Amino acid sequence: GAGVSQSPSNKVTEKGKDVELRCDPISGHTALYWYRQSLGQGLEFLIYFQGNSAPDKSGLPSDRFSAERTGGSVSTLTIQRTQQEDSAVYLCASSLGRGGGEKLFFGSGTQLSVL
């Protein structure tokens, strides 16, 4: 596609419900990243994929968070039993993944609100 696409753009959910956030990277980009942006917290690294593998999951805040990527393309970030502190903007980015120094292309994000 023309850019990184994320859906939904906004999600309002009740505490305790599960949510799925989707990211469709730029075609041909092998690296895919998930970040969380909260007020005053900057961009918090969650996880990244090289192809379908996730070399580093250390940023996932708890075992309620999981992510997968299939076919080296679309990725889904799942948050189970959502809590109010999960409210944030979830950003996805992709790059060619050829090694250090590659430019990240960001999606517009999913604004998650947990009531």
Partner 1 sequence: GNSVTQMEGPVTLSEEAFLTINCTYTATGYPSLFWYVQYPGEGLQLLLKATKADDKGSNKGFEATYRKETTSFHLEKGSVQVSDSAVYFCALSGWDDKIIFGKGTRLHILP
The answer to whether 88 touches 23, Cβ cutoff 8 Å, is no
- b/e burial code for range 84-115 (CB count within 10 A of at least 16 → b): eebbbbbbbbbbebeeeeeeeeebebbebebe
Does 42 sit near partner 1 (CB under 8 A)?
A: yes
Give the one residue of 24, 29, 32, 35 binding partner 1; rule: CB under 8 A: 35
**What is the footprint of partner 1 within residues 1-30 (CB under 8 A)?**
none
**What is the footprint of partner 1 within residues 53-82 (CB under 8 A)?**
55-56, 58
Q: Which is nearer to partner 1, 34 or 73 (CB)?
A: 34
How is residue 8 written in tokens?
Answer: 């939904």
Residues of this chain that bind partner 1 (CB under 8 A): 31, 33, 35, 40-43, 45, 48, 50, 55-56, 58, 91, 93, 97, 99-104, 106-109
